[in-house]
Structure 1
Amino acid sequence: MSQTEFKLVECPRDAMQGLHDFVPTALKSQYLNLLLQVGFDTLDFGSFVSPKAIPQLADTAEVLANLDLDATNTKLLAIVANLRGVETAIKHQEISYLGFPFSISETFQQRNTNSSIKQSLVTAEEMLSLCVKHNKKAVVYLSMGFGNPYGDEWNYEIVEKWADVLVDKGVEIISLADTVGISTPEKINEILPKLLSRFSHTEIGIHLHSTPAERFEKIEAAYHAGVKRIDSALKGFGGCPMAADDLTGNIATEEVISFLNSKGENLNLNMDKWNEAMVLSGKVFR
């Protein structure tokens, strides 16, 4: 597997969004600028959502203005939750990807974006249309992709059904999201190979949440399942504040890097800049 086949997506936005104390804009920008120099394919840097919902990311536009994009090939991804967010994000030429959380759980879709699955599908269609017009790509996160803790019906057929609907609408990148950390190696091995085979012309990735003790086995399962797009966050910080009060963290990027290096993968990352970001993270995540 060559370096170009792997897409590592670093997710500081996901890591920071649940922090209670506001991280100053200058410090956020400094941290993101270091991550931009590491060499990740994509940086999930911020979101254009309601400041009341996610106050930590209310300064996304200001942070974007402070980013140095001249010396990086890393592409920027911003999360949006409704049409207003889409219309704001597409105005920024620096952003390559718009990420939209589409839940296959009616309960969580309401909880996360205050809209139904049906309404969210309409939003996704409008987003796709605007992305085409503004030379951007949509990344749809299929959340609750590994199970549902809210009592809504869940099975693989439901996952595949909604993936099929989204691909039919024109979605080219789907990231299967384990919003509450209930995936297991067994579920990963069951679901991902089927999706990768069924949607061979669609980029299928994973966005896993996990406790530290379970991270490695999930990374290993995803690798052997054939996934080449992996979301993670430095030190495994973060989680979804809309899903639980006690956040289940992200997969730790350093563990993804270590695992892939052990398999002989050429990631071509600037580890000096990565180590600088690791040190600075102590000021961001207090």
Structure 2
Amino acid sequence: MNQNKFKLIECPRDAMQGLHDFVPTELKSEYLNLLLQVGFDTLDFGSFVSPKAIPQMADTANVLANLDLSNTTTKLLAIVANLRGAEDAVKHEQISYLGFPFSISETFQQRNTNSSIAQSLITVEEMLSLCQKNNKKAVVYLSMGFGNPYGDEWNYEIVEKWADVLITKGVEILSLADTVGISTPEKIEGILPQLISRFSKTEIGVHLHSTPTERFEKIKAAYKAGVKRIDSALKGFGGCPMAADDLTGNIATEDVIGFLNSKNENLNLDMDKWNEAMILSGKIFG
């Protein structure tokens, strides 16, 4: 696998999903169409989950119908939380990746997907099989990968154990997710080099949440750890509505871009389109 090129995953879905006021489908589509022109590897654009759970994403199929993929190399990723969502997502040819949040905290797995870790493992197996039949790839997020606020046991060995289980099942892309922003540079540098070296044939990334003051040091730690796949969202909007914390948003994409530019990484992004998206974001996020 080519681990040399940096893969930036822009996550407007994660940015928008917790917004209280419904963003009109046309506005979502306009925003996503701009982001598709920037040159990100992947756009985490929507989710096929219960509209009761995440009302903001109820129009994902309609948004998808409005996206112009004729002039972009960016691939689309949709989040699913169960088999039904995966079955809905694979029907859409335009989607390349299905993302599933697999929590290594039993409490959060129940809160987030209404199922146990054991049941979620079965869902992952079923999703992998669906992906294979429909020419898609699965991205599994090891959610609560840096600890959890519920008192569930966490250590590096538990993270590595679940990575091993999932990769053995056939997961090719694994993203270590910090759902509540409790990762630290020490934890990032403590666990990721080990995972990257042990599972060298697997694409391993990070989906970090952070307060604005800690973003930069987390990006730096991930880079130092050898990560080549980073999830982020424009201006750091968003976070997880299932783990309420107003302070903890996504890592800001502009911080990631700035840092990687300082390391002379060739990102090949259209910054004019990026600036247009930054301006338009004001209409969505206020």
Amino acid at match of 2:265: E
Rounded to whole Å, the distance in 1 between the matches of 2:83 and 2:65 is 22
2:226 corresponds in structure 1 to 226
**8 A Cα contact 2:141 2:176, kept in partner:** yes
Rounded to whole Å, the distance in 1 between the matches of 2:241 and 2:25 is 20
Alignment of 1:199-210 (within 5 A): 199-210=199-210
Rounded to whole Å, the distance in 2 between the matches of 1:51 and 1:197 is 39
1:285 corresponds in structure 2 to 285
| Residue-by-residue CA offset, 1:85-140 (whole Å, 9 max, x unaligned) | 00000000000000000000000000000000000000000000010000000000
Alignment of 1:119-138 (within 5 A): 119-138=119-138
1:54 corresponds in structure 2 to 54
Rounded to whole Å, the distance in 2 between the matches of 1:27 and 1:57 is 13
Superposed CA RMSD in Å reads 1.1
Amino acid at match of 2:284: V
- TM score, norm. by length of structure 1: 0.98
**8 A Cα contact 1:82 1:113, kept in partner:** yes
2:250 corresponds in structure 1 to 250
Q: How far 1:198 moved relative to its partner?
A: 1.1
| Residue-by-residue CA offset, 1:9-52 (whole Å, 9 max, x unaligned) | 00000000000000000000000000000000000000000000
**8 A Cα contact 2:103 2:144, kept in partner:** yes
**8 A Cα contact 1:210 1:250, kept in partner:** yes
Q: How far 1:67 moved relative to its partner?
A: 0.1
1:168 corresponds in structure 2 to 168
Q: How far 1:3 moved relative to its partner?
A: 10
Q: How far 1:245 moved relative to its partner?
A: 4.5
Q: How far 1:246 moved relative to its partner?
A: 2.4
2:26 corresponds in structure 1 to 26
**8 A Cα contact 1:206 1:229, kept in partner:** yes
| Residue-by-residue CA offset, 1:42-67 (whole Å, 9 max, x unaligned) | 00000000000000000000000000
2:100 corresponds in structure 1 to 100
2:88 corresponds in structure 1 to 88
> Where does structure 1 differ by over 4 angstroms across 4 or more consecutive aligned residues?
none
**8 A Cα contact 2:106 2:116, kept in partner:** yes
Amino acid at match of 2:157: E
Rounded to whole Å, the distance in 2 between the matches of 1:195 and 1:24 is 41
Q: How far 1:5 moved relative to its partner?
A: 1.3
Q: How far 1:244 moved relative to its partner?
A: 1.4
Q: How far 1:4 moved relative to its partner?
A: 6.0
Q: How far 1:201 moved relative to its partner?
A: 0.7
1:216 corresponds in structure 2 to 216
**8 A Cα contact 1:104 1:117, kept in partner:** yes
| Residue-by-residue CA offset, 1:174-227 (whole Å, 9 max, x unaligned) | 000000000000110101101101111100000000000000000000001100
1:263 corresponds in structure 2 to 263
User: Secondary structure in 2 aligned to 1:209?
Assistant: strand
User: Secondary structure in 2 aligned to 1:9?
Assistant: strand
- TM score, norm. by length of structure 2: 0.98
User: Secondary structure in 1 aligned to 2:69?
Assistant: coil
Report % sequence identity: 86
1:42 corresponds in structure 2 to 42
Rounded to whole Å, the distance in 1 between the matches of 2:212 and 2:82 is 32
Task: Give the aligned length.
Answer: 285
2:139 corresponds in structure 1 to 139
| Residue-by-residue CA offset, 1:144-194 (whole Å, 9 max, x unaligned) | 100121011100100000000000000000000000000000110101101
Amino acid at match of 2:275: N
Amino acid at match of 1:277: A
2:64 corresponds in structure 1 to 64
**8 A Cα contact 1:18 1:239, kept in partner:** yes
2:193 corresponds in structure 1 to 193
2:151 corresponds in structure 1 to 151
Gaps of 5+ in 2: none
